[in-house]
Amino acid sequence: MLNKEEIKERIIRLKKKHSAIIIAHNYQHSDIQEVADFVGDSLEISQKAAQTDAEVIVVCGVRFMAESASILSPHKKVLIPDKDADCPLADMITPEELKRMKERYPQAVVVCYVNTSADVKAESDICCTSANADKVVESLRDKSEIIFVPDKHLAHYVSLKTKRKLIDWNGYCPVHIAITPEDVLKRKKEHPQAKVIVHPECVGKVIELADGVFSTSGLAKYARESDAQEIIVGTENGFLYRLEKENPEKRFYPASELAICPGMKKITLSKVLWSLENMQYEVKIPQEIVQRAKQAVDRMLEIR
Ligand code: 13P
Ligand code: SF4
C-alpha cells in the first residue's frame, strides 16, 4: 500500500502528464488542500475554472462545484473523484419545483444559489454565491419581485442586508443549521475575548451573535486581517485547517463539533489519485442545459 507522500508524488506526476489542475474547496481534507493547485470558496472555484488553461480540471468538492466548473469550461474534461459527493442543500429544489414557482410569480426574476444542480441553474436568470449574493440582489434594483432559491437562511440574511423582500424556498444546509445559538453562547463563555465569525447559511439567531458573516474565503480574510487572537468559527469544521495554517499565532474554536459535511468528506487523497489514473468520474451535462445554465453563471461573474 502507498503511503501519503507516495500518493501525493503520483498525483503530482499525473497532473503534469495530463495537464491537469486540482481545485479544492475550503472544506476539503487537509491532505487534499496540500496537493491542490488552488483552494477557495465557490465563487473563486468558478472563477478559476473559467480562467484555467489546464486541459483537465479535478474538482475536490461536492457535485454542484464540479458541475459549475464544467458549465464554465464546457470543452475541458472536468473530473470529480467521488460521484456521490452530494450537497443535500443543492438537492432540496428540483427544476420542476422551480418551474412551478415561476408560474406562481410570472413577473419575478430568479436568483439561484450556486449550491444547485445544473438543471436548476438552467431555469434561473442569475446565479450567486455566498460571496456575492447581496451584490447580485442589489444589481436587480429595477425588478419588483425576486425569487431566491434554495437556501432560506441565506435568503433571510441577504434580505436583511439589501432591504429587499425575497420570495424564498424551504431549503437549508443541514451542516450549518446544526450550529445553534446555544453552541455559540457556550463557546463565547469559554473564550470571552474571542470574536465570532459565521457563514450566512447559519440560522438567523446564530448570525445575530456574529461579529462577521462571510463566505468561506471571506472568513479567511477576516481571520488574517483582524486583530483578534481568538476566533470562534461557525462553519464546516474542515475549514479550521486553512485558518490555522494561515494564522499559526491565532486560536480558532469550532462553534459546534457537529458541523461536518459528509459530502465534502467523501473526497479522499486516494480517490484523487484514482481519478487521475482513470480519468473518472467525468462530469457530463447535456449541451442544452450547459448553454442555459452558463448564462446564469456568466451574469453572476460579470458582477464585481
Ligand atoms: P462558500 O462559497 O462560502 O465556500 O460556501 C460553500 C458551501 O457549500 C457552504 O456550505
Ligand atoms: Fe452543501 Fe452544507 Fe455541505 Fe456546504 S456544508 S456543501 S451547503 S451540505
**CATH architecture for segment(s) 90-172+290-301:** 3-Layer(aba) Sandwich (3.40)
Q: What homologous superfamily does CATH list for 179-254?
A: NadA-like (3.40.50.10800)
Average pLDDT over the chain, rounded to an integer: 97
Q: Which of 38, 42, 239 to mutate to test the pocket of ligand 1 (most atoms within 8 A of CB)?
A: 42
Other C-beta atoms closer than 10 Å to the C-beta of 140 total: 16
Domain ranges in the chain?
Answer: 4-86+264-285, 90-172+290-301, 179-254
Amino acid letter at 143?
K
At 4, is the pLDDT very low, low, confident or very high (cuts 50, 70, 90)? very high
Ligand 1 atom 6: residue of nearest CA: 42
pLDDT tens readout for residues 49-63: 999 999 999 999 999
- Ligand nearest to the backbone CA of 177: 2
Whether pLDDT at 304 is above 80: no
Domains 90-172+290-301 and 179-254 in one fold: yes
Q: Coil, strand or helix: which one is 20?
A: strand
Rounded to two decimals, the pTM is: 0.97
pLDDT at residue 261 above 80? Answer: yes
Annotate 104-171 with DSSP letters as a single string. Answer: HSTT-EEEEESSS-HHHHHT-SEEE-TTTHHHHHHTTTT-S-EEEESBHHHHHHHHHHHT---B--SB
Reported as a pLDDT band with limits 50, 70 and 90, residue 113 is: very high
Mean pLDDT, residues 19-29: 98
CATH number of 4-86+264-285: 3.40.50.10800
The Å distance, Cα 60 to ligand 2 centre, comes to 13
Ligand 2 centre distance from Cα of residue 52 (Å): 25
Place of cell 410569480: 105
pLDDT tens for 128-184 read 999 999 999 999 999 999 999 999 999 999 999 999 999 999 999 999 999 999 999
Give the separation between CA 60 and CA 79, rounded to whole angstroms: 9
Q: Best substitution site from 236, 256, 258, 266 to test ligand 2's pocket, by max atoms within 8 Å of Cβ?
A: 236
- Is ligand 2 within 6 A of the CB of residue 233? no
